[in-house]
Structure 1
Amino acid sequence: MITPTKGISPDRALLAVGAQIAMQLDRPLTVSQAWAKFREWRESHSHTAPVSFGWFVLALDMLHALDVVHLHEDLLYKGVVDASSAQR
């Protein structure tokens, strides 16, 4: 599931989907904006394997667990968010 397997094609593995999502985060985006940019990017690069919104969210969860993306004030950021400005 995280890496390609017999049942999961390389372009649907969570690491690949996560990398594709991370490439879209050139600026802070809402989850909906990131989903739309991700779908447009996959279509323009001829990735025909379907990726559901649930799979997209699993990839976001994986990226968050790996400390690649952060959600702050309803915006997704790639990289480090200044912890002093975040309310805990």
Structure 2
Amino acid sequence: MITPTKGISPDRSLLAVGAQIARVLDTPMTVTQTWSRFRAERTRLGHHSPVSFQWFVLGLDVLYSLGVVELRDDLLARRRRDVATTDS
């Protein structure tokens, strides 16, 4: 389910769905806006396998679990990564 299997096509695996969500999440936006852009991007790329809203939310869950996205002021946003600097 997270990775492609015999019953889950590669473009419907949760890792692929998460990557597609991260790709469209270039600015903070609502879940509804993200869902709309996600569907438009899948259509543009020619992905014909259906992805339900529930599957989309599971993709968001994977991204959240991996620390890629966060919810800030009711908007989904990519999580900021502060690069640690070390003095040598």
TM-score (norm 1): 0.89
1:72 positional shift? 1.2
Contact 1:70–1:80 under 8 Å retained in 2 = no
Aligned-CA RMSD value:
1.4
Matches of 2:53 and 2:28, distance apart in 1: 19
Q: For structure 2, list consecutive stretches of 5 or more residues without a partner in the other structure.
A: 82-88
1:55 positional shift? 0.1
Structure with greater proportional helix content: 2
**Match of 2:78, as an amino acid?**
K
Deviations 1:32-71 (A, max 9, x none): 0000000000001100000000000000011000000001
Q: Percent identity?
A: 62
Q: Which runs of 4+ in 1 moved over 3 A?
A: none
Larger radius of gyration between Structure 1 and Structure 2: 2
Q: For structure 1, list consecutive stretches of 5 or more residues without a partner in the other structure.
A: 82-88
**Match of 1:28, as an amino acid?**
P
